[in-house]
Chains A and B, each alone.
Chain A
Amino acid sequence: MGKAKGRDTSTGFSRRRFLQGVGVVGVGALVADNALLKAADQPAGASATDGIVSGNVEIVLQVNGRNRKVTVEPRTTLLNALRNNMVPPITGPKLVCDMGTCGCCTVLLDDKPVYGCLTLAIDAVGRKITTVEGIGTPEHLSPVQAAFGEKDGMMCGYCTDGFVTSITGLLKANPNATEEEIREGCKGNFCRCGTYPRIFQAALEAVKARE
């Protein structure tokens, strides 16, 4: 972690200071820095001096309009924080490749699509996180979700949450997206069942529904 130079984040604390804080000292300072971040149980032996950067902290993530407390390690990804560490968990974003190739873990961070598996949970503190669960519900589907149903934009459904989220993010930024722009906007998402043509049709249908 020696190369983990402090990168400023929108939360106002640096990762380096965060890691140090978790390890030994500045828990109070961190809480002062950001009221959303709270200290939590630290296992014995976790300290910066023995080179182990681990241990748990409790942070608060703003997910789908609600503040959710969650205990994470510094290395915990946003995806794992949502899926594994939150009670009850948020499992719409899927873990598939864990290396930023498939897009099944896509969430909106301040309305912009990001890979949940490439975002650290601690970097998402203080930002608006929207998962597919926050886009619509079975009773109140968003236009994108309804269009996926109408056009059969899914088969097994495992990639669907990621595609719905990517397209929702795309249409927030570009409400009149063309098919070319939709293909480009979804190029970071994989579907193994091969529903792509119908996903494109669903996205176009959602564009039409907004007009």
Chain B
Amino acid sequence: MAERNESNSEILSWGPNDKHRLLNTRLPRVDFPYKTTGTAIYTYDVSLPGMLQGRILCSPHAKATIKSLDLSPALRIPGVKAAVKRLDVGGMLRFEGDPIAAVAATTAEIAEDAVLAIQVTYNELPFVVTADDAIKPGAPAVYPDDPAVINNTRVNDERGDSGKVADALKSADAVVEAEYRSPTLHHTCLETHAVVVDYRGGDSATVYVSTQGTFSIPGDAARTLDLDESNVTGIVQYMGGGFGSKGGIGVEGQLACRLSKQAGVPVKMALPRRDEFIMAGNGPGSIQKFRAGVSRDGKLLAVQVEEYGLGGIGGARLAGQPYVYRAENIYRKAGSIHTNEDAARPLRAPGHPPACFAMESLMDELAYKIGMDPVEFRIRNLPENDVHIRQLQRGAKEIGWDRRSRTPGGWPGTVKRGFGCACGVWGGGGRAQCVVDVSIGRDGAVIVSCGSQDLGTGTRTYMVAIVAEELGLEMGDVHEKIGDTRLTNANYSGGSTTAASLSPAVKVAAINAKAEIAKALAPVLGANADDIVFADRKISAGGKTLTWSQACAALPSAGISVRGKFKRGLSSNGTHGACFAEVEVDTETGHVQVIRILDVQDCGLPLNRLAVESQINGGMVQGIGMALLEGRVMDARLGVMINSSFMDYKIPGCLEMPREMLPLIDDDDPRQQVVGVGEPPSVPPAAAIANAIYSACGVRVRELPITPDKVLMGLMGAKA
């Protein structure tokens, strides 16, 4: 294989964003024929001869030790082939859902029976499952031996001068003191965490996982199976959503490995929905307390804030306040509050949507308090020349900001319209791990491959598009392979880094392929390699033209295989977005309907406009869920989750969809670099909707989700 890590034939750049033939256009995703016909095989769909179905016994208690545990009744059920303990007698259970043991049986139904047959008794212990209970002095300690955790609170960031802030607040023309709350959310990937372990003894295994990191599989599985990492193949062909919840093979994967090892046959462990809710992660809730002061002319003078993520037994970090805005004086204390709940995991732009909701609600309250247009007030407190300024101006124009009633609740009638906005940021950026192979056969077949995974973001499609564009081919001429550790290395998909990490390596590989072809064909065309032009599925130089097939037939017998590695400069980090929402609030029922919503989002060079717009739509839809519907509900006395199903944990459906959604790519972004856009569009929508609700009916709901009862209580309060 010819390795060319550097291209010397041309300067490495994507060129102007508006000069692409395929990139930055609207490309249907290359895997759609499979995703629309049931032929895309997800981990959940993998079926192997003799495969068993696994199920997990989860703790029914928020905190307990195991008094006794007997798996033998489960093993006596016909069809049950293996059972393993994760914990044994004396083991500590730290939350409802904490896995205790697992079984594998010939059918899922028998495996469910077997879990029920396991004999287990508990010593129940005092617990806390709400933040309010957790911070009370004397509350049961989640981490009794950790001196850094006081009243179940761990402070890990404290900065600023609280004295100066207090002085500045005294001189402010208006002060708002408010506490904002957002509940624990769930990723609710439609494909729950799923693992299929294909191990039948011997020294190798293949492990299929619904994970965001294909290359996290072999290490995780090899440890549990006691195999060499190099003898474990990890496969992630298609996956049904991750949103931050799926890293490695997880505890469910480890249990599946042990079951497979015990039974000597493949085991599928696909979590039932309820287990997914209680043991497979959540996005942290938040409590954020502010005192903030402004001058009459709309300058943020001082912000004092305590911000806590609700991380369960894990940590949870929120974006630092005052988020995207500037204030002359800032004092900030940040940390996590611990409870006996499953550990929080990253959830799409971790820490940002809750921080944005709180800060943007506060900004709105301050703007109304001094009688200033909320858009104007924001612009006055953003850094000079900040990207958000142009995005706010564009968004205001597109939504028809001037149509709003300047008085909250001033829209005529009982069903009132309101308008709100919010800004968000995200980092992203490229990581250096990605390596990409491009091979071209003498039959003209072009294959671009990398072990990376496609979470639904369109990875496959831009890989094909980059290579096709570089070689003067069409989308259908190039084929891709991903999701397999036998292919080249790639990074974990987290933090919106996949496109920014992978696309540069694809570009380098494509340039290298082009150079190799040119070198091979220069004698045939009687031209310098540098003068050969690739366009319209043809290769030409010096007046001679070969079709792609003719050209490839003239390649060396082994064809061409080249490799490309990540190169800095082709991608970048830092994104900005502004969201505007128009809502209708029925003041008689408290029902909120989002009428129109738009999100202006920059992303440097949009690799595929269709896919980027879909990402922005997705961010807005998840924002609607966060604003109006979603939130984990715990029974504080029993220590269990009450709404662990789609019947009770509401996610947005067709009827919640606005009449119009506008995913707007900010083409004023001058960067000719790829910037990931998976997470950022989900940051500001919930805040924009909350602000629109205030504009519509004059009710400021400071705790998400904004359900009809809260709106009605607010309206009653306003009347009283």
| A residues with CB within 8 A of B | 43, 73, 75-76, 80, 83-85, 88-99, 101-102, 104, 131-133, 135-138, 141, 144-145, 148-150, 152, 154-161, 164, 183-184, 186-187, 189-198, 200
Contact = CB atoms under 8 A, between A and B. Distances in A.
A102 B241 CA distance: 15
Given A133-B39, A197-B657, A156 B239 contact: yes
Nearest to B268: A84
Nearest to A92: B38
A137 B109 contact: no
Contact of A197 (B243, B617, B651): B617
A76 B241 CA distance: 27
Contacts of B615: 155
B190 A192 contact: yes
B621 A99 contact: no
B457 interface: yes
Contacts of B108: 80, 84
B620 A160 contact: no
19 contacts: A84-B47, A89-B45, A94-B240, A101-B645, A101-B646, A138-B39, A144-B36, A152-B614, A154-B29, A154-B36, A156-B455, A157-B31, A157-B34, A157-B35, A158-B190, A158-B191, A183-B657, A190-B651, A191-B190
B677 to A, nearest CB: 13
A192 to B, nearest CB: 5
Contact of A192 (B28, B37, B189): B189
A161 B622 contact: no
Contacts of A154: 29, 32, 35-36, 456
B202 interface: no
B653 A156 contact: no
A98 B192 CA distance: 12
Among A95, A131, A155, max chain B CB count under 10 A is at A155
A158 B610 contact: no
The 5 closest A-B pairs by CB, nearest first: A92-B38, A194-B621, A158-B240, A156-B456, A194-B618
B272 interface: yes
Contact of B273 (A98, A155, A187): A98
Contacts of B621: 191, 193-194, 196
Contact of A135 (B37, B78, B655): B37
Contacts of B39: 92, 133, 137-138
B610 A152 contact: yes
Contacts of B620: 194
A103 to B, nearest CB: 9
A187 B188 CA distance: 18
Given A99-B645, A194-B622, 16 more contacts: A91-B44, A92-B37, A97-B273, A152-B29, A152-B610, A156-B190, A156-B191, A156-B241, A157-B34, A187-B653, A189-B654, A190-B190, A192-B190, A193-B456, A193-B621, A196-B621
A195 B458 CA distance: 13
A94 B654 contact: no
Contact of A155 (B28, B40, B457): B457
Contacts of B646: 97, 99, 101-102, 190
Interface in B242-279: 243, 270, 272-273
B174 interface: no
A138 to B, nearest CB: 4
Interface in B16-55: 28-29, 31-42, 44-45, 47, 53
Contacts of A83: 45
B185 to A, nearest CB: 12
Interface string B98-111: 00000000011100
A140 to B, nearest CB: 9
B652 A194 contact: yes
A181 to B, nearest CB: 11
B35 A160 contact: yes
Contacts of B238: 156-157
B480 to A, nearest CB: 15
B189 A91 contact: no
Contact of A186 (B34, B458, B654): B654
Contacts of B720: none
B611 interface: yes
Nearest to B31: A157
Contacts of A75: 109
B289 to A, nearest CB: 31
Interface string B450-492: 0000011110000000000000000000000000000000000
A196 B614 CA distance: 10
B619 interface: yes
Nearest to B611: A152
B456 A141 contact: no
Nearest to B455: A156
Given A157-B238, A194-B621, A197-B657, A91 B41 contact: yes
A131 to B, nearest CB: 6
Contacts of A95: 44, 270
B37 A138 contact: yes
Interface in B159-216: 187-192
Interface in B614-654: 614-615, 617-622, 645-647, 651-654
Given A89-B47, A98-B272, A195 B190 contact: no
Among B38, B458, B619, max chain A CB count under 10 A is at B38
Contacts of A101: 645-647
Contact of A157 (B40, B270, B611, B655): B40
Nearest to B608: A152
A102 B615 CA distance: 21
A102 B190 contact: yes
B447 interface: no
Contacts of B40: 157
Nearest to A103: B653
A183 B37 contact: no
A37 B35 CA distance: 33
B37 A94 contact: no
A150 B29 CA distance: 9
Interface in B568-622: 610-611, 613-615, 617-622
Contacts of B37: 92, 132-133, 135-138, 141, 145, 161, 164
A148 B32 contact: yes
Given A133-B39, A194-B621, A88 B28 contact: no
A89 B49 CA distance: 11
Contact of A94 (B191, B272, B610, B651): B191
Contacts of A104: 190
B38 A149 contact: no
A89 to B, nearest CB: 5
A75 B40 CA distance: 28
Nearest to A80: B108
B661 interface: yes
Contacts of B109: 73, 75-76, 80
Contacts of A135: 37
Among A43, A150, A186, A191, max chain B CB count under 10 A is at A191
Contacts of B29: 149, 152, 154
Given A84-B53, A104-B190, A192-B190, A149 B28 contact: yes
Among A75, A88, A90, A94, max chain B CB count under 10 A is at A94
A192 B188 contact: yes
A199 to B, nearest CB: 8
Contact of B614 (A43, A137, A138, A155): A155
A99 B239 CA distance: 22
Nearest to B39: A138
A195 B614 contact: yes
